[in-house]
Structure 1
Amino acid sequence: MKQKSYLLATDLDNTLVGDQTALNNLFSFYRDKQFDPALVYVTGRHLNSALSLIKQEKLPLPDILITDVGTAIYHAPDWSEDRTWAAWVNETWSPNDVLSASADFHSIIRQNLPHQKRISYTLDSCQPHIVQAIQAKLDTHHIPCHIVYSSGSDLDILPERSGKGKAMEYVLLEYAKKGVNILLAGDSGNDAEMLSLDYPAVIVGNAQDELNGLPPHALLYRAEGYYADGIKEAWDHFYPTIHI
């Protein structure tokens, strides 16, 4: 990965994945131009769910897999976890305290996860005010954490040191070639932190309305194309000199 001059870091569901033709066209484009970019998948899914999707969609295996909204980082090909990142993230993480503080909110439904790297809930789309109430409760009890609300229903309570943006910064520092040409891609609120980094980034055309509030900047491209078509459109925008 450190030898590669280009890097694509993308969310999976509804960003890279969602239109099979667009997906095929994107990777055919990379093959035809002989880029062979390093691949980092950055997803809200847990490890086994992400690997299942990769297999189901016949996606190229990534060099790095960031899962659980940036709380865990795994290396190909054996998917061993980055222990340095895990130790740093979990040093101040108290999932049982989070569960205790959120227990009084009966209208939220806890998501079934195989671990406590994050605590995630599903909310009724008509009750976004609950997010602020939960945040206030956690603050009152001085529980260090990081809340991400996305897609109008998903509430992820993460370790305060985690998130897609922080995990991506760590991966770039530790594993990427210095000065690598990068494109970040996403479609929902849990991508906002990553898309706001100081690197070329794309919001795909089918993105959630919640990303409309991201401040515009020169490195943030809003694509018209949906899913992987939006990624290719942004690649052409940022790296036009790659055409032969």
Structure 2
Amino acid sequence: MPKHILICTDLDRTLLPNGKQPESPKARSIFSRLVSRPEVTLAYVSGRHLELVKNAISEYDLPLPDWIIGDVGTTIYQLRNGKWLHWYEWEQDIATDWQGNIANDLRALFTDLPALRLQEEAKQNCYKLSYYVPLQTDIAALQKTMSQRLEAQHLAASLIYSVDEATSMGLLDVLPAHATKLHAIEFLMQHQSFDYVNTVFAGDSGNDLPVLASAIQSVLVANADGNVIEQAKTQTRKQKTMTAFYLAQGGFLGMNGNYSAGILEGIAHYHPETRLWMEENHEQ
């Protein structure tokens, strides 16, 4: 067991039990006690912006993380002396992909595409251009058109698609190519002296796929959509990262594998010694 472990987790429908499936009653409290250990550094990795992450922490009584990777990987904040400090070095790192442009400058490229509806201004930032997309949209064709327009302007970008189950709406984010959750986590690992052996990521949705299919030890919670499960399996086989991917099954400590129960199951899969911590906490 490494002396220290970095636990990175998505929020909505991963740590937060706000999906359709039931939550194991004691899972979140075990998770909270686990991440309170001095060996653990905790990062929330979310599509939410900072205020919405703070709202989730309050609403669900979540443990305060050491780091927040927000806005689908375009912002990073560190908790220091009770305050959230913006990590500007990260934004400087990703800014080069857009050659001095920001998200507002890119909107004009897509105004004629009827499938796209801009998300609220609070969900936009300098390096995140976000749209709502109807579920019946041909996403592959739309992404191809958008990618061609970005490439014509010599802009390196990622188009990240996911589905909001609560609203039955597609979400499409235009990000600098290096601003994915994956690159943000790797940036954090590099600057905080973590590696692939002592980092674990948990997710559930399409915008988690780049991390789930990477060399980072990852867990897909059991409540994930079937389509995401199949995509994750396909991508890990293609990238030969199957040993760094775990699909929660349920049954661990008598829990169902959904949400935080799945996170705990995945952590114990990669780091079996942590099970003792969980069982000790389970008995308290």
When normalised by structure 1's length, the TM-score is 0.89
1:105 aligns to what? Answer: 113
Give 2:118's aligned amino acid: R
Instruction: Verify: 1:12 aligned to 2:17, yes or no.
Output: no
Greater alpha carbon shift after TM alignment, 136-145 vs 22-31: 22-31
Shift of 1:190: 0.8
- Decide whether the 8 Å contact of 1:5 with 1:180 is kept in 2: no
Shift of 1:24: 2.0
Instruction: Verify: 1:223 aligned to 2:248, yes or no.
Output: yes
Compared CA separation, residues 233 and 243, structure 1 to 2 (3 A): closer
Q: Which residues in structure 2 correspond to 1:203-222 (within 5 Å)?
A: 203-208=220-225, 209-214=227-232, 215-216=236-237, 217-222=242-247
Structure 1 residue ranges (4+ consecutive) displaced by more than 6 angstroms after TM superposition: none
User: Percent identity of the aligned residues?
Assistant: 30
Task: Tell me how far apart the structure 2 counterparts of residues 79 and 6 of structure 1 sit (CA, whole Å).
Answer: 22
SS at 1:24 equivalent: helix
Task: Tell me how far apart the structure 2 counterparts of residues 8 and 177 of structure 1 sit (CA, whole Å).
Answer: 10
Greater alpha carbon shift after TM alignment, 160-169 vs 136-145: 136-145
Q: Which residues in structure 2 correspond to 1:190-209 (within 5 Å)?
A: 190-208=207-225, 209=227
SS at 2:127 equivalent: coil
- Decide whether the 8 Å contact of 1:6 with 1:35 is kept in 2: no
Unaligned runs of 5+ in 2: 18-22, 164-168, 250-256, 277-284
Alignment counterpart, residue 85 of structure 1, candidates 85, 90, 98: 90
Instruction: Verify: 1:164 aligned to 2:176, yes or no.
Output: no
Shift of 1:171: 0.3
- Decide whether the 8 Å contact of 2:197 with 2:217 is kept in 1: no
Task: Tell me how far apart the structure 2 counterparts of residues 16 and 180 of structure 1 sit (CA, whole Å).
Answer: 22
Unaligned runs of 5+ in 1: none
Give 2:203's aligned amino acid: G
Instruction: Verify: 1:142 aligned to 2:142, yes or no.
Output: no
2:270 aligns to what? Answer: 238
Shift of 1:4: 6.1
Count of aligned pairs between the two proteins: 240
Task: Tell me how far apart the structure 1 counterparts of residues 40 and 155 of structure 2 sit (CA, whole Å).
Answer: 40
- Decide whether the 8 Å contact of 1:97 with 1:143 is kept in 2: no
Instruction: Verify: 1:54 aligned to 2:19, yes or no.
Output: no
- Decide whether the 8 Å contact of 1:11 with 1:187 is kept in 2: yes
2:42 aligns to what? Answer: 39
Compared CA separation, residues 178 and 234, structure 1 to 2 (3 A): closer
